[in-house]
């Protein structure tokens, strides 16, 4: 039943169809059924689609850097310091608040008028994010992430001189056994995680890495870099802010520069997806943010 309804209704995901059926908005032969009900020849399916409801989240005129936008999706360059979704302690000033203001063409997703958050970036991480504007686009993009066909490339400035030119990390990641807000490679319930990295530039005591993710675990790059003993510079949770990480040979200027970094130096640089409507392969690039560029410029000899 839910499959039939989702394929016959425009911009209706299977999960939303199941919700409509479960709540008796759509019936078979005037009788309530379950979403798993099997239809037979001659069955009459009828009902009504309730209008989408506004979410309990206020639109806010917050400036956004749009890299691309059409009727199905929006791609933004999220600034560092912005939380993606409202949560306790961050009910305003989020990416969702800004999208509700800038995208009046949002249609119903799961019965609500809201942007479809397909993936997230940490508050302190900047860079490319794709957002679905309707239910069918959300389903298509979620499927791409689940099938790992989305290509995500990050840039990170890490502590230490990474000796090899490239490599990979395949350590499982799960919730930290004692610090529940952190992730760890020592978790008993770790899930497979793959990070491929390549050195872009060495600064002497610091390294710029390009990282490609095969999986998308919470804090994956930050945890894997820390496990390599090269934590991301400025990382408040995984050792990147410790002054002891800075080489004893570092100049006073470099030491001052690194100690004044205000967030983890991690940037979602590139994203490649298949457009959920046209099927076109699309690539988006977010330029290196000013604070990260200033750090790299300051670390270069001379």
Question: Which CATH fold would you assign to the domain 152-267+295-299?
Answer: Pseudouridine synthase (3.30.2350)
Confidence of residue 23 (pLDDT cuts 50, 70, 90): confident
Helix, coil or strand: residue 196 = strand
Query: Which pLDDT score is estimated for 189?
Result: 83
pLDDT tops 80 at residue 228 = yes
pLDDT tens-place string over residues 57-107: 889 999 999 999 999 999 999 999 999 988 777 778 999 999 999 998 888
Confidence of residue 296 (pLDDT cuts 50, 70, 90): very high
Catalytic residue among 43, 65, 122, 249: 122
pLDDT tops 70 at residue 11 = no
Q: Where are the domains of the chain?
A: 2-47, 53-147, 152-267+295-299
Specify the CATH number of the domain 53-147: 3.30.2350.10
Report angle CA 163, 169, 172 to the nearest 5 degrees. 150
Average pLDDT over residues 149-170: 96
Which carries the bigger pLDDT value, residue 126 or residue 10?
Answer: 126
Confidence of residue 54 (pLDDT cuts 50, 70, 90): low
Is residue 122 annotated as part of the catalytic site, yes or no? Answer: yes
Sheet holding 108-109, edge to edge: 53-54, 112-113, 108-109
Confidence of residue 53 (pLDDT cuts 50, 70, 90): low
Query: Which pLDDT score is estimated for 177?
Result: 85
pTM of the model: 0.82
pLDDT tops 90 at residue 202 = yes
Average pLDDT over residues 202-225: 94
Confidence of residue 16 (pLDDT cuts 50, 70, 90): confident
In this chain, the answer to whether the domains covering 53-147 and 152-267+295-299 adopt an identical fold is yes
Average pLDDT over residues 198-216: 95
Cα–Cα distance for residue pair 151/164, rounded to 1 Å: 23
Average pLDDT over residues 251-265: 91
Query: Which pLDDT score is estimated for 180?
Result: 77
Cα–Cα distance for residue pair 279/89, rounded to 1 Å: 39
Task: Count the helices and strands in the chain (H runs, E runs).
Answer: 7, 17
Cα–Cα distance for residue pair 72/253, rounded to 1 Å: 48
């Amino acid at each position: 039943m839910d499959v039939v309804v989702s394929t016959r209704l425009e911009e209706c995901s299977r999960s939303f169809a199941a919700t409509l059926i479960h709540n008796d908005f759509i019936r078979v032969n005037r009788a309530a059924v379950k979403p798993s009900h099997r239809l037979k020849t001659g069955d009459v399916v009828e009902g009504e689609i309730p209008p989408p409801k506004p979410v309990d989240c206020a639109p806010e005129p917050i400036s956004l850097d749009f890299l691309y936008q059409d009727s199905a999706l929006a791609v933004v360059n999220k600034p560092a310091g912005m939380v993606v979704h409202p949560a306790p302690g961050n009910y305003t000033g989020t990416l969702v608040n800004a999208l509700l203001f800038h995208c009046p063409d949002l249609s119903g997703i799961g019965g609500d008028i809201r942007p479809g958050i397909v993936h997230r970036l940490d508050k302190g991480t900047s860079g490319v994010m794709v957002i679905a504007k309707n239910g069918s686009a959300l389903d298509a993009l979620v499927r791409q992430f689940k099938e790992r066909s989305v290509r995500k490339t990050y840039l990170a400035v890490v502590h230490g001189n990474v000796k090899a030119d490239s490599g990979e990390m395949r350590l499982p990641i799960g919730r930290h056994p004692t610090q529940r807000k952190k992730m760890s490679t020592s978790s008993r319930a770790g899930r497979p995680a793959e990070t491929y990295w390549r050195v872009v530039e060495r600064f002497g005591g610091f390294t710029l890495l390009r990282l490609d993710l095969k999986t998308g675990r919470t804090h994956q790059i930050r945890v894997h870099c820390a496990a390599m003993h090269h934590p991301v510079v400025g990382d408040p949770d995984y050792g990147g802010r410790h002054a002891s990480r800075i080489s004893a040979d570092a100049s006073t200027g470099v030491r001052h520069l690194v100690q004044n970094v205000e967030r983890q130096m991690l940037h979602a640089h590139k994203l490649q997806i298949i457009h959920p409507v046209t099927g076109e392969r699309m690539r988006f690039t977010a330029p290196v943010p000013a604070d990260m560029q200033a750090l790299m410029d300051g670390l270069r000899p001379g």
